[in-house]
Amino acid sequence: MTSTYKYPRPALTVDCVVFGLDEPELKVLLIRRDLEPFRGKWALPGGFVHLDESLEDAAKRELREETGLEKVFLEQLYTYGNVERDPRERVVTVAYYALVRLSEHRVVASTDARDAAWFGVHDVPRLAFDHDRILKAAYQRLQNKLRYEPVGFELLPKKFTLRQLQRLYEIILDRSLDKRNFRKKILGMEVLEELDEVEADVAHRAARLYRFNPKRYREMVKRGVNFEI
Amino acid sequence: MTSTYKYPRPALTVDCVVFGLDEPELKVLLIRRDLEPFRGKWALPGGFVHLDESLEDAAKRELREETGLEKVFLEQLYTYGNVERDPRERVVTVAYYALVRLSEHRVVASTDARDAAWFGVHDVPRLAFDHDRILKAAYQRLQNKLRYEPVGFELLPKKFTLRQLQRLYEIILDRSLDKRNFRKKILGMEVLEELDEVEADVAHRAARLYRFNPKRYREMVKRGVNFEI
C-alpha cells in the first residue's frame, strides 16, 4: 500500500526533549539510533506522526515505544523545518519537551532505539540531525518557564523540602540563589502546602515537607498575580 | 505529476496572524477565502509549504502572495495538528504571528484570497477552520511578549513619543497604566534614544520623539538585565 498526492509533501515527525533531575544534575534522555541515517549516534526520542493521532499523541506514543515513559508533563517547544535538516529528504519535526520525576519512572529502550540513557545536560555527545539545536532551545525554554510558571514541581518528588526546591532552581538556572529571598518569594505566593511531615532518613535535622497546590496556583492567577521566582 | 510515498502523510501548511496598530485599536489582518472549504469565510492568510522552502519562508511567501505584505517582524507561534481540524483531510499547520507598522505597509488581496482587510481584534467574525483558536493564542502571546521583550516597537512608527508608546501598551494589554511608573520603567532600561526632534502637526505642546535602540537592548541583555514593563 502506498499513498499518492497531487503535490509533494514533507514528512512529519515529532521529537522529545525529556528532562529529569538527578541531583546534583539536570539530565536529558537520549536514544541510540539503530537505523540509518546516523545509525549508532545518540538522538532525541521521536518518530513519524500517524494520520489518526494528534501531534501530542504522537509524541506520547514515541516516548512510550522508544523509552517506556508514560504519563509525563509534555509541552510543545517549536517546529523545525529547515530544508536540509534531514539527509534523506524533507522532514519537518514538531519538538516537545517533557519533565519527568526520575524516582517514579523506569526507562527501557525498545523498537528502533538500540539503547536509551540519561545524560547530564552539560555532558551530551554530538547528536544526530539538528537535535543539538533542539536540545539547546528546550533547555532555554525550561530556564525561562521555571521563573514564570510552576513547572519545576514536575521534576521533584510530590513532597519536597524548601531546600530541595531551591536546589532545583539553582541547578537548572545554573547559579546560586539567596536562601532568604528565595523562601520569601516562594512562600509569599502561597502556592505551597505545608505538610505535617518531615523528611525521612537524613543525617541533619529533618526539614519540613511541602507540596505544590495547583488549585491555589489557579486562584492566584485568577487574582491577577503572576508566578515569579 | 503526482507524488507517491510508502506511508500516508499529513498535508503541511503555514498560517499567519498579522497584527497592526491603528490607534485606538489593535487590528488583525484577515483574508476572505475564495476556495472551498469555508469559501467566502474570513480566515488567517496562509497556505501549503513547498518542499524547497523553510517554514518561515513559506509564511513570508504566503503573506506576500495573499496580502502584499513584505519585510515584517515574524515569529513562530505554535503548531496545530488536531486530527479533525480540516474537513478535507489531515492538515497540520505551523502558525506564525507578525507585527506590522501600518503607516509603512499597503495591503492588497491576491491569489486565492478574494479580499483582505484589517479587523479590530475584539471585532472579528467567526473564522474558518480553527483560526479563532490560533488568533486567540497569538493575541495572548503578544500580550506576554510585550511585557518581557521589546517587540512593541515593531508596531509603532520608528520615531515615537512616550505617550504613543504608553498608549500601545495600554491598547494591547487592555488596561490603563500609571504614566510616571511607565516612564520610569522604560527610561530606566536605557533602551530608548532621545532624539533632537519633537512631533509635528499637533494641537497640544509638541512632545519629544524617541527611537528604540536595539544595540543598547542587546548590551542590557548581556549585562543580565531583563526587559520588563
Map out the domains of chain A with their CATH numbers: 11-148 (3.90.79.10), 156-222 (1.10.10.10)
Instruction: Give Cβ neighbours of residue B33 (< 8 Å, ≥ 6 apart).
Output: B39, B40, B41, B42, B43, B112, B113, B114, B128
CB contact under 8 A, A5 and B2: yes
Q: Which pLDDT band holds residue B203 (cuts at 50, 70, 90)?
A: confident
pLDDT digits (tens, 9 = 90+) for A25-59: 999 999 999 889 999 999 999 999 999 999 999 99
What does the block give as the cell for B153? 516597537
pLDDT digits (tens, 9 = 90+) for B145-156: 999 899 999 999
Reported residue count of chain B is 229
The shortest CB-CB distance from B9 to any of A9, A54, A94 is to: A9
CB contact under 8 A, B51 and A6: no
3-state secondary structure A48-104: ECCCCCCHHHHHHHHHHHHHCCCCCEEEEEEEECCCCCCCCCCEEEEEEEEEECHHH
Is the ipTM beyond the 0.85 threshold?
yes
Q: Does B5 touch chain A (CB under 8 A)?
A: yes
User: Beta strand pairing status for B3-5 and A3-5?
Assistant: antiparallel
Q: Can you tell me the mean pLDDT for B86-111?
A: 85
CB contact under 8 A, B78 and A83: no
pLDDT of residue B204: 83
Residues of A whose CB is below 8 A from B82:
54
What does the block give as the cell for B112? 486565492
pLDDT of residue A200: 86
State the CB neighbour count (10 A cutoff) for residue A64.
17
Q: Are A169 and A144 in contact (CB under 8 A)?
A: no
Given CA atoms B51, B56, B59, B65 in this order, what sign does their dihedral have? negative
B12, B53, B149, best to mutate vs chain A, most A CBs in 10 Å: B12
Say which residue, A138 or B115, is predicted with more confidence.
A138
CB contact under 8 A, B81 and A54: yes
pLDDT digits (tens, 9 = 90+) for A85-112: 999 999 999 999 999 988 777 666 565 5
Q: Which pLDDT band holds residue B111 (cuts at 50, 70, 90)?
A: low
Q: Does A54 touch chain B (CB under 8 A)?
A: yes
A48, A60, A92, best to mutate vs chain B, most B CBs in 10 Å: A92
